[in-house]
Amino acid sequence: MSSSSAGKKTTGDLVRRNRLSTEAGLWGMLIPIGLVCVLAANICALLVPFLSIKFMGDKEYKLIESVRLMWNEGIIVVAILIVGFSIIFPLFKTVSLLLVWFLRMNPRFRNRFILLLEAAGKWSMFDIFVVTLLMVISSEQRFIETTPRYGLFLFIIAIIGNMIMSRLMEMVDQRINFNHRARFGDDDAELEPLTSTGAIGWTMPLLLLIAFGAIVFAIELPFFKINNVPLYSKSYSIHAAISALFENQHYGLAIFLILFTCVTPLLVLLLIGHCWMVRKTHYQIARRLDLIRIVGEWSMLSVFLMALGITVTEGELLVKTQIKDGLWAICIAILCSVVCTRLAYRKLSSMLVMTGDGLKT
């Protein structure tokens, strides 16, 4: 094989179909085993108790039973979303990843499909956020108590495991077919986005500061207030929700909320800012863009907003709530973050032009 052909194979331009399972080395065995374990955890999570609600009696619910309960209570949208995001999609994703791992496919099509599944994976957390909000609402209430069961933690393990497996698959696919080191070779020219992207160069730091501040406000401002007898009237923010979970010894859910609604959204902005302000080579920028995208896939403020919006609207049938300023703060924070991320990604990607190759990310 000529050197030019090898270079094309490395950057994913070779049209020859290949199998990841036969070119991945040790990963060829570990990833399918991991996917099978994820699939087993997912199926078990559907069959065992998911949540226990104590209200004029104590009753345990499996995930499928909770869907039926919501449907019978007229909470149709939530029932449909849980079926789509939390039951059908995780199983579809795991089976699809297994097939993609073993089938001979075009590298570019396979990579785009894996990236699509990876990006959509966080929306399977929708049901976890709904349950977390129920736990928060029922905290310090005399008439209702909500307790997570082991099905919930199996489900969290399955979804996070699914996301990790798709990430590992994309990593292996990139090493085999889209290797940044081979693509950019020995190009050691350094780029500085701050001074080489025109007017947007000096605007981006200001946009990042606005987005950072918006996320802080979104964390601190109350997003709704319970206004329902016999429940105590209380206001909740993301910060207050985390505190309530810790106080009720739901440490796993509290850490879950901290990581995915506070840490990762802020970390994305910090990564963009560092890449924007510090001179880097083409290879370093390409790696940083990958890292920004990966961390962004674990940033779930938008998933939390959807769960919150559904709880406020559809949940009115069960618990009366009053919308507070924090809900709009979350919307603004997400909008600012999306603008910064998309704009930075587009500008940084446009800088990655291979001399003599004409190849752009």
**Quick one: average pLDDT of 130-153?**
78
- Residue 279 reports pLDDT greater than 70: yes
Task: Tell me the mean pLDDT in the region 102-123.
Answer: 91
**198 and 283 share one domain:** yes
Residue 47: give its domain's CATH number.
Answer: 1.20.140
d(CA 252, CA 183): 42
* pLDDT of 165 strictly over 50: yes
- So what's the pLDDT on residue 298? 94
Q: Measure Cα distances from 27 to 23, 35, 159, 176, 235 in Å.
A: 9, 12, 20, 12, 48
For residues 211 and 233, state if they share a domain: yes
Output 26 or 345, whichever has higher pLDDT.
Answer: 345
Which pLDDT belongs to residue 353? 58
> What is the C-alpha to C-alpha distance for residues 212 and 52, in angstroms, rounded to an integer?
37
27 within 8 A of 38, measured Cβ to Cβ: no
Per the domain annotation, does 13 fall within a domain? no
Number of domains forming the structure of the chain: 2
Report the DSSP pairing between strands 190-191 and 58-62.
unpaired
Per the structure, the complete domain to which residue 314 belongs is given by 191-361
Same domain (yes/no): 172, 207: no
Q: Is 70 a member of any domain?
A: yes
Which among 179, 200, 227 is the end of a domain? 179
Least confident among 12-21, 109-118, 190-199, 231-240: 12-21
The answer to whether residues 148 and 66 belong to one domain is yes
8 A C-beta contact, residue 39 and residue 95? yes
Same domain membership, residue 340 and residue 247: yes
Q: Are residues 327 and 235 in the same domain?
A: yes
In a domain, 186, yes or no: no
Give the Cα separation of 9 and 1 in Å (integer): 10
Q: pLDDT confidence of 81, banded at 50, 70, 90?
A: confident
- Dihedral sign from CA coordinates of 13, 19, 20, 24: negative
258 pLDDT higher than 80: yes
Residues 218, 154 share a domain:
no
Judged by average pLDDT, the poorest of 211-215, 227-231, 291-295, 326-330 is 227-231
- pLDDT category at 229 given cuts 50, 70, 90 is very low
Closest CA to 144 of 51, 235, 250, 54: 54
Residues 320 and 175 in one domain: no
143 and 281 inside one domain: no
- Two structure tokens written together for 93: 């994703």
Q: In what order do the strands lie in the sheet with 235-236?
A: 235-236, 224-226, 321-323
**Same-domain status, 202 and 96:** no
| Coil, helix or strand at residue 235 | strand
Secondary structure class of 76 (helix, strand, coil): helix
Residue 4 resides in a domain = no
Q: Where are the alpha helices (DSSP H) in 178-324?
A: 180-184, 193-196, 199-220, 238-247, 251-258, 264-277, 282-297, 301-313
Per mean pLDDT, which of 179-188, 295-304, 341-350 is the most reliable?
A: 295-304
Predicted TM-score of the model (pTM): 0.84
| Final residue of a structural domain among 179, 200, 228 | 179
Report pLDDT for 235.
Answer: 81
